[in-house]
Amino acid sequence: MNDRPAVIFDMDGVLVDSYQAHYQSWQRAAATVGRNMSPEEFNATFGRTSREIIATLWPDAVTSEADIARLDALKEAAYREILAADFPAMPGVQPLLQSLRAAGFALAIGSSGPPENVALVVDRLGGRAVFDAVVNGMDVRRGKPDPQVFLLAAERLGVPPKRCVVVEDAPLGIAAAKAAGMASVGLVSTGRTREALAAADLVVDSLVELTPVVFHELLQRVRQ
């Protein structure tokens, strides 16, 4: 382990504004099993793996592991199709990543998404030259609010949890960061309010508000 500071980014709603792509792809998947996903269900499940969501919401319609896998694959393929056609990077993401790297931060992605989705986003944001570690939903057995995804990211970075800041847009992700013993930044995004993210150590309305100095000060404040 080293004492280098690190920032671990959730992917959807933090690095890429993928709310509509996810919602539309879930609607396509739900329709194939005669179901519908409401906006409330969609918002409540953000941060969990697709496999967990399918098994929880439609246990009567999707009854086997093979069925879950097929519906999961269909949903995620639709997501990538929508996102690849029009990639909406979050405002300020590129300058923030560049400034953090220049300031010596280690950078990682800790996402519940499948590897193909994460690879698409990493590629569009500059490739593995930007991120020192990437964790996707297939790397973990338990989705957020379990801290496994963030703890694995820290392990791959070689940075202790107390030196990590997680940037998240979902309450489940904030809870996972807390459980991992990491500082947290809540990013207000589509479907997310400041009130919903109030458990974070810092809440911002845009990535533009974040700088290396802000992360250094947050780490110092949380450790006190």
For the annotated catalytic residues, the residue numbers are 10, 12
Cβ contacts of 49-56, under 8 Å, gap ≥ 24: 49/112, 49/137, 49/140, 49/143, 50/75, 50/76, 50/112, 50/113, 50/114, 50/137, 51/137, 52/143, 54/29
Tokens representing 61?
Answer: 């319609």
CB within 8 Å of 158: residues ≥ 6 apart:
1, 2, 106
The answer to whether 218 and 183 have CB atoms below 8 angstroms apart is yes
Cis upstream peptide for 145 (omega within 30°): yes
